[in-house]
Amino acid sequence: MSVFEHVKRLVVKVGTSSITYDTGMVNMRQLEKLCRILADIKNSGVEVILVSSGAIAVGASKLGLAGGRPATIPQKQASAAVGQCELMYIYDKHFSEYHHKVAQVLLTRDVIEKPDLRTHAENTLGTLLSLGAIPIINENDTIAVDEIRFGDNDTLSAIVAQLVHADGLVLLSDIDGLFEANPSEVPDAPIIRRVREIDEHILSIAGGSGSNRGTGGMITKIQAAQLCFDSNCAMAIINSNRLEGLYDLLEGREVGTLFSKED
């Protein structure tokens, strides 16, 4: 039995390394599968909100920037502009095949910090959900400068979960969950299946960063978990290599690491 079995409004965050190859180009097989599973979850009666990274990597590779890695901030912002519409094109195409509507929402930190703007964002997202659309959210990297950046989509996804009053957030990652030590350094480190609070121990094992194509590491995921604890939203980290894990989670089977006070 898992708290995720009762989730009615689910935010799913997918990271750059989960939907692109090392070239920066889109991993079509993975993206197509993600859309099919999310469409199916929505068909089952769960509202779905997707937070997708990948705009910068996809845009940089499309623009032919050296190694798919933009060197300057204007190059990053230009890459995001190109990659975001490429990603939305692909999402729209796949979700449309399953008769679902998608909506692009790009956010910056000032939107959630200014109460009137926050209310507008909440209202728009609520309306989109009531109209049956799947909001697909990213940071507005094309205009975001440091003062108004979220910085990483783990944090952004937890804030989105608050904005839409979600009861579940899933971070699809390139790792199985939270481990007692970094598995790339300690291969037999045990996975932690359940976190009931973010204490010193959890913070101490979350240090270090993730892959080099996204911005998050474990620490940003733990910060996201703290935001979820604060707003009574269950959170899970599961491996994007096995997207069926989403079904496992929603059907109460053990998968990844679950962050929740309740059973």
User: Would you tell me which residues interact with ligand GLU (CB under 6 A)?
Assistant: 15-16, 53-57, 138-139, 141, 152-153, 214-216
In the bound state with ligand GLU, the residue whose beta carbon lies nearer, of 55 and 227, is: 55
* Distance of alpha carbon 217 from alpha carbon 253, whole angstroms: 25
Q: Which of 148, 152, 122, 143 is nearest to 49 (CA)?
A: 122
Percent composition of the chain: helix, strand, coil (DSSP 3-state, to 5): 45, 20, 35
Q: Measured from the CB of residue 75, what is the shortest distance to ligand GLU in angstroms? A: 13
Q: Measured from the CB of residue 253, what is the shortest distance to ligand GLU in angstroms? A: 28
In the bound state with ligand GLU, the residue whose beta carbon lies nearer, of 3 and 206, is: 206
In the bound state with ligand GLU, the residue whose beta carbon lies nearer, of 20 and 257, is: 20
In the bound state with ligand GLU, the residue whose beta carbon lies nearer, of 178 and 250, is: 178
Q: Which of 161, 177, 89 is nearest to 129 (CA)?
A: 161
Q: Measured from the CB of residue 44, what is the shortest distance to ligand GLU in angstroms? A: 28
Q: Measured from the CB of residue 138, what is the shortest distance to ligand GLU in angstroms? A: 5
* Distance of alpha carbon 8 from alpha carbon 80, whole angstroms: 31
Residues with Cβ within 8 Å of 4's Cβ and at least 6 positions away in sequence, in order, are 168, 234, 236, 249, 250, 252, 258
